[in-house]
Amino acid sequence: MLKLNFERRLLLDIGLVLLPLLSVLSAVLLWPELAERLVGGLVSVALIASLLLALRLRRRVIYPLYTLSNLLEALREGDFSLRGSRAQRGDAIGDVIWEVNALSATLRDQRLRVEESSALLGKVIEAIDIALFSFDADARLQLVNQAGLRLLQLNASTARGRSAQELGLDDCLQVQGAALLKRGFAAVSGSFDVRRFRFRSGGRPQDLLVITDLSRALREEERQAWQRLIRVLGHELNNSLAPIKSMSGTLASVIGREPLPEDWREDVHAGLRVIGDRAEALNRFMIGYASLARLPPPRRRSVALAPLMRQAAALEQRLAVQVGEVPDLQLAVDPDQLEQALINLIKNAADAALVERGGVQLQASQTGDWLQIDVLDDGLGLSGSDNLFVPFFTTKPGGSGIGLVLARQIIEGHGGRLSLSNREDVRGCRARIELPL
């Protein structure tokens, strides 16, 4: 059976509506004598038939519109399960229903993704150990995670709807951007990183408050720093005190003999020399530690870069340090501190280069708003970089282990960076200083 589309059915129904009237008109024209006697009845029948067919035409037009209205109402209410049953291409109403069905499927998929993302975001917010608070335009709490409830020692039912002043967060809500506050909450006191973000919900301004407890992280970092320091101090003290103790016992045994051996003076002098050497090494260690701990802030003044680099290179007497191209720049730095950092790096480079009978190069370049100073050596390169900046860690006999740490502290005090890496072109190491111009 041939299935007609909506447009053809509509044209057919219009033709059927007009057919009775056309039939009466044809009868009048073809049989005027007969039509004159029956004209009243024919017209009445034609009008009734046309009326019935017009009602049928109206139903054909109205019912698809009702279907579309129901589908759109379901979409507006968020019900994406309804589908139109006559969705087909090549048909005016069918095309509309097909597009509505496709829109419903798209909206359903999007809502599913939003709900899944919201569920994941909710779990992440609850899992993180950072207090989150959301306040409406009247500074009343709308949302809070478990970390925030623990910080205030409240439960969700009693916290929501309360004002920031009632919760003791009014000073945090006055923060512009980010701030570090030292204050106490119901659960803990200490230093807190407070960040405030402005957003809109439903067209009204809202505030998101993020409070991070820094005290615990700082205490953990402090504990680890103390542990590292104690390990280093204990190692160095043991290295110095153990031979001193051993040699003191040996000397006590020598001078306690009766009669004294003939070479007792030489043994005593050798023992005292060992004790003196170890005491001097321990003294150098403590002086190095004191210099690292008491580094003053940089006193900046305008300094020419090229003479400063050439002067630092000339102080290395064991080998000739080659100074490459240096840009003609004036730097606002502490020249004494920067020179000390360069001396430490050049000394390390020379130590590595002398082992391989290599050289040391010093060069500088400008990249955008940054100055790069490279100290290059022809040594063996780096075998590992994990402990390079650990205070008092050294792989060189007689080394103090503070040269790199002191250099990095100086560079970071100027707002820059210090990094060490192996050279790409040849064997050796590159120490790079990056300073903001």
Could you report the per-residue pLDDT of 7-52, keeping only the tens digit for each? 667 667 676 666 666 666 666 666 666 555 555 566 666 677 767 7
User: 244, 275, 293: which is the final residue of a domain?
Assistant: 293
**DSSP symbol at 78:** T
pLDDT category of residue 119 using cuts at 50, 70 and 90: confident
What does the alpha-carbon distance between residue 57 and residue 59 come to, in Å, rounded to a whole number?
A: 5
Q: Are residues 305 and 288 part of one domain?
A: no
Task: Output the CA–CA distances (angstroms, integers) from residue 385 to 99, 161, 378, 411, 434, in the order listed.
Answer: 62, 53, 18, 18, 19
Reading the block at residue 360, the tokens are 């040391």
For residues 150 and 140, the answer to whether their CB atoms sit within 8 Å is no
Q: Are residues 102 and 198 part of one domain?
A: no
Q: Read off the amino acid at residue 101.
A: N
The domain spanning residue 420 has which CATH number? Answer: 3.30.565.10
Q: What is the pLDDT of residue 400?
A: 45
Is 118 domain-assigned?
A: no
**What's the total number of domains in the chain?**
4
pLDDT tens-digit readout, 365-377: 888 888 898 988 8
Q: Are residues 320 and 432 part of one domain?
A: yes
Tell which wins on pLDDT, 80 or 412. 412
**69-73, 312-316, 387-391: the lowest-pLDDT one:** 387-391
What does the alpha-carbon distance between residue 163 and residue 138 come to, in Å, rounded to a whole number?
A: 8
For residues 159 and 145, the answer to whether their CB atoms sit within 8 Å is no
Q: Are residues 288 and 208 part of one domain?
A: no
Mean pLDDT across 317-325? 83
**Neighbouring residues of 81: CB distance < 8 A, sequence distance ≥ 6:** 74, 108
Range of the domain at 205: 125-217
User: 293, 315, 350: which is the final residue of a domain?
Assistant: 293
Q: What is the pLDDT of residue 42?
A: 61
pLDDT tens-digit readout, 263-281: 777 777 777 877 777 777 6
The structure tokens 């020379």 sit at 350
Q: Are residues 75 and 5 part of one domain?
A: yes
Q: Read off the amino acid at residue 151.
A: L
Q: Are residues 276 and 162 part of one domain?
A: no
What does the alpha-carbon distance between residue 35 and residue 26 come to, in Å, rounded to a whole number?
A: 10
Q: What is the pLDDT of residue 245?
A: 75
What does the alpha-carbon distance between residue 430 and residue 374 come to, in Å, rounded to a whole number?
A: 6
Q: Are residues 310 and 428 part of one domain?
A: yes
- Hey, is 76 helix, strand or coil? helix
Q: Are residues 231 and 200 part of one domain?
A: no
Is 228 domain-assigned?
A: yes
Q: Are residues 231 and 265 part of one domain?
A: yes
Mean pLDDT across 98-102? 80
User: 217, 244, 263: which is the final residue of a domain?
Assistant: 217
What does the alpha-carbon distance between residue 169 and residue 178 come to, in Å, rounded to a whole number?
A: 14
Q: What is the pLDDT of residue 253?
A: 75
For residues 363 and 305, the answer to whether their CB atoms sit within 8 Å is no
What does the alpha-carbon distance between residue 16 and residue 56 come to, in Å, rounded to a whole number?
A: 10
Q: What is the pLDDT of residue 397?
A: 46
Q: What is the pLDDT of residue 328?
A: 86
The domain spanning residue 191 has which CATH number? Answer: 3.30.450.20
Q: What is the pLDDT of residue 83?
A: 74
Q: Are residues 418 and 305 part of one domain?
A: yes
Q: Are residues 230 and 285 part of one domain?
A: yes
Percent of the chain with pLDDT over 90: 0
Is 139 domain-assigned?
A: yes
pLDDT tens-digit readout, 160-219: 888 888 888 888 888 888 888 887 887 777 788 888 888 887 778 888 888 888 777 666
Which helix (H) or strand (E) covers residue 133, if one does? strand 131-135
Q: Are residues 107 and 3 part of one domain?
A: yes
